[in-house]
Structure 1
Amino acid sequence: MFSDKDLRKLIVPLVIEQILAVLVGTADTVMVSYAGESAISGVSLVDMFAYMVITILTALATGGAVIVSQYLGNKEQENANRAAGQLMVGTLLASGVVCVICAALNSQILHLLYGSAEESVLQAAETYMFITAFSFPFLGIYNSSAALFRSMKKDEHDHVRFAPHERHQHCRQRNRYFRAESGRCRRCGADAFCPARWRASS
């Protein structure tokens, strides 16, 4: 069960990440404010569409990271590596396809979504969307990498600082790797080092 401290370590970076993602659109609006109302409106229209694309890429990355986490939890390093590679390739392909579609069909997409907008607004939006489309592959790779880093365990070798009996006691206290049926620790392999009282009874 996660403690409040563990949850804060997990939630705070996610909140900061989402705030930064939203601030990107706000910064774009501020920077083009000198160009007039049409430019501001065009940027705002594209930001709504871009945020939807970013959310889809984030969901894809999170789903792949869940699979990687399951493999890591089962100590299947080879499968975890394969799943991580597939996630990166799949995200790159998906975001690349979205990039090409948005860059090539930006006018059609904007007229379909915001056909009632003024022509000057749509023209500004088309220019901004064409530029924004090329950021999607990089955002996809970033989201996948961030999700994979969150799923990786940094304490894989934290038991090396213990003496043999202390190492197994550490594993036993964490109650994650002790195999009751054999009395051996799957993590440190301790058996002869450990007093009989540490062995689980079946």
Structure 2
Amino acid sequence: MTTSESTTAGQLLKTGSWALDASHSSVAFTVRHLGISKVRGGFTRFETDFVVDESGAVSLGATIHLDSFDTGNPDRDAHVRAADFLDVANRPTLTFRATHPVVVAETFEVRGEATLGAVTKPVTLDVEWGGLQEFGPSGDRHAGFSATGTIKRTDFGVGGLLPGMLSDAVKIELEIQLVEPK
């Protein structure tokens, strides 16, 4: 991506705070179980902060509500929400905050910090910009983004080591749609 292409993508975004379109967004994860298969799931409640400044640079962050953990298996979900995994009673959210404003391009990297309870670790997300599109009779413009990253669950004290049971690496996949400020 050349500098002029990066600048053009960022200039397409209206200055201000963009609202999350939660019904067209998702936060998902994949973790290996027993080293032979992948368990997929997600979180059904999350928020974003996405603010475009006058230069086109974006400050961003997100909060995931851990009690919304869902793999489609109620018994497993209850176990993962319990103290020996996510410990939702004491650590209700996972937050992410970019450490610096970013310039939107076709593909770009967001370096930030994720915090779970008292633990904060660096996390890098690889982001693909889906572009802008008018949606609905109001003609609201929506911006779309896909992002991926990997965290180590033991870095955050999730699930102990569990050697051979669960992989330490957890792949995060985000599909985010935002509504342009009025």
Taking structure 2 as the reference length, the TM-score comes to 0.30
Higher relative contact order (CA 8 A, sep 6+): 2
- Higher gyration radius (CA): 1
More helix by share: 1
More strand by share: 2
Taking structure 1 as the reference length, the TM-score comes to 0.28
